[in-house]
Amino acid sequence: MERMGRTVMDLSNLTTEQSNPATTQIDRLDTLSMLKLINEEDKKAAVAVGAVLPDIARAVDLITSKITEGGRLFYIGAGTSGRLGVLDASECPPTFGVSPHMVQGIIAGGVRALVNSLEGAEDNRERAISDLDERNFSSADVLVGIAASGRTPYVLSGIEYAKSLGASTIAVSCVENSEAAVLADIALTPVTGAEVIMGSTRMKAGTATKMVLNMLTTATMIKLGKVYGNLMVDLHATNDKLRDRARRIIMTATGCDSERALAALDAANGHAKKAIELIMKKSTD
């Protein structure tokens, strides 16, 4: 479509852009009924993710293999999708004790876009390439392009560039047969349908996306040995909250008391796994 000399994009064929029949009267509901309706729609996000678990498993195995070989995991996205990628990446070092370079999130518009809406940034294809180059992205790495619509130019450009380097690519989108899904090596497509508020993909699509990203990094870290049982043993206690969490992890893993756990944690400079190893070694001496 053309309007005043500019091309007007037509997104009417995307399921995420449809009007949701279940919520057309939501503005007339009392508060509790409104929230119940939102909650019912949110449940559909988990179902949508469940439908693509085999694809997520393939992605986890790919990511694990690449990281084991020395590669890194990158997320790239714009708006809500970019923020979710940055959030997931930023949680990996404190949770699993890995280098912040292992999992990195890139958002269109840079750091400023994390707290301010810079909608025009998603159309900048050249910037996606320079953002990857600035991080020395290479064929050894994995790129996960995140876009609810699967058509964001910034994300598509990133995927195309990664493929041109010979890198592995994964697309996370929430509409059937998206451009990103067709372009990437592995497509993760939880189809969440029309949003509670028409086109507001920060809602169900955002929820489903966060669930997928949680699975990608959590399962990968488990496979990399960063978890013992269900304990985040590679935790590095850098504040009071993490110190208490580490103490309880050490106690659970070794059966020791609180005092001994804290002493071992101090001896290990805040590293829970090292503290566990110290206690285990003394127990066998």
Residue 184: count other Cβ atoms within 10 Å of its Cβ.
Answer: 27
Catalytic residue among 17, 40, 41, 122: 122
> 114, 133 in Cβ contact below 8 A?
no
DSSP bridge pairs for 74: 104, 143
Q: Count the alpha carbons within 13 Å of 21 in the hemisphere toward its beta carbon.
A: 0
Pull the structure tokens for residue 199: 């086109």
Three-class secondary structure assignment of 152-213: CHHHHHHHHHHHHCCCEEEEECCCCCCHHHHHCCEEECCCCCCCCCCCCCCCHHHHHHHHHH
User: Under the phi-then-psi rule, with left for phi > 0, alpha for psi from -120 to 50, and beta for the rest, what region is 4?
Assistant: left
Per the structure block, which two tokens stand in for 239? 């504040």
How distant, in Å, are the alpha carbons of 13, 233, 250 from that of 88?
Answer: 30, 19, 25
Tell me which of 91, 160, 176, 277 is the catalytic residue: 91
Under a CB-based contact definition with an 8 Å cutoff, are residues 112 and 118 in contact? Answer: yes
d(CA 78, CA 153): 9
**Residue 179 known to be catalytic:** no
Annotation marks residue 195 as catalytic: no
Pseudo-torsion of CA 212, 55, 145, 205, nearest 10°? -40
Residues with catalytic function:
91, 122
